[in-house]
Amino acid sequence: MMVVWRKANNPPKPPGEPGSVGHVGETNMLRRLYLRFQHILHELGKFGVVGAIAYLVDTGIYTLLLLLGMETLFAKVIATAIAASLAFLGNRFWTWRHRPRSSLTKEYLLYFGLNAAGLGIQLGVLGITHYGLGSVWPIFTTVLADLIFGQILGNAIATVFRFWAYRRFVFVARVTAHAEATR
C-alpha cells in the first residue's frame, strides 16, 4: 500500500485544470500529434512486421549457406534475393495495400532495383569488415562476425534507406488536388 502525503495548504488540483494529472490540453495535444502522424506510424509498424519476417528468413538462409561453406558475399546475395521477394509480397499486399497500384511487374522491378541498392549497402559493410578488417584481424572473417556486420549493422543502415525508397518510389501515395496545388 502506498501513502501519499500532501501539505494541508496544497490540495490536489481538480481534473481538467492545468497542472492536474491527465490535463485535457496535454491529452488533446498528444491526440492531435497521433492523428497527424497516424498513417506513417501504421506504415512503419507494418513495414517492421514484414521486415522482421524477411529478416528471419534472410538470416536463416544466410547462416545455412555460410555453414555449408559458401563464400560470404555470394551467400548474402542469395539470402537477400529470397527474403526480398517475400518482403515485396508483404509490403505490396499489406503495408501499402491502400496505395494505388501500377503494374505489378513495374513495381516488382522498381522494388528490386531499390532493394539492390540496399543490398549494396549491406555488401559494402560486409566487404569492409570481412575482407578489409579480416585481412588484419582474422576474427572478422568468422561466421559470427559476418552475421553481426551483415545482418545487424548493414541491415539496419539498409532498412532506413529501403523504407524511404519504397515509400517514395515504389508504393507511391495518391496526390490530391490540394497537395498538388501546394507544391
* Predicted pLDDT of residue 69: 93
Residue 176 is assigned to a structural domain of this protein: yes
Residue 19 is assigned to a structural domain of this protein: no
Domain residues for the domain of 105 are 24-181
The one-letter code for the residue type at 152 is: I
Residue 61 is assigned to a structural domain of this protein: yes
**18-22, 67-71, 87-91, 102-106: range with highest mean pLDDT:** 67-71
In angstroms, rounded to a whole number, what is the distance separating the alpha carbons of residues 83 and 79? Answer: 6
3-state helix, strand, coil in the chain (%, to 5): 75, 0, 25
Q: What is the average per-residue pLDDT within 66-72?
A: 92
* Predicted pLDDT of residue 138: 92
Q: Please state, as a whole number, how many other Cβ atoms lie within 10 Å of the Cβ of residue 130.
A: 22
Place of cell 570481412: 130
In angstroms, rounded to a whole number, what is the distance separating the alpha carbons of residues 147 and 154? Answer: 10
Of 47 and 69, the structure prediction assigns the larger pLDDT to 69
Residue 42 is assigned to a structural domain of this protein: yes
Residue 175 is assigned to a structural domain of this protein: yes
Q: Which three cell numbers mark 155?
A: 541491415
Does 18 score more than 60 pLDDT?
Answer: no
The total of structural domains in the chain comes to 1
Q: Which three cell numbers mark 40?
A: 506513417
* Predicted pLDDT of residue 82: 94
Point out the least confidently predicted range of 9-13, 74-78, 108-112: 9-13
Does 56 score more than 90 pLDDT?
Answer: yes
Of 179 and 76, the structure prediction assigns the larger pLDDT to 76
Largest Cα separation within the chain, whole Å, is: 76
Residue 8 is assigned to a structural domain of this protein: no
Residue 10 is assigned to a structural domain of this protein: no
Q: What is the average per-residue pLDDT within 8-32?
A: 60
* Predicted pLDDT of residue 1: 47
In angstroms, rounded to a whole number, what is the distance separating the alpha carbons of residues 140 and 115? Answer: 25
pTM: 0.64
Q: What is the mean pLDDT of the chain?
A: 79
Does 183 score more than 50 pLDDT?
Answer: no
DSSP state of 142: S
Does 148 score more than 70 pLDDT?
Answer: yes
Q: What is the average per-residue pLDDT within 120-125?
A: 91
Q: What is the average per-residue pLDDT within 102-129?
A: 86
Residue 2 is assigned to a structural domain of this protein: no
* Predicted pLDDT of residue 133: 92
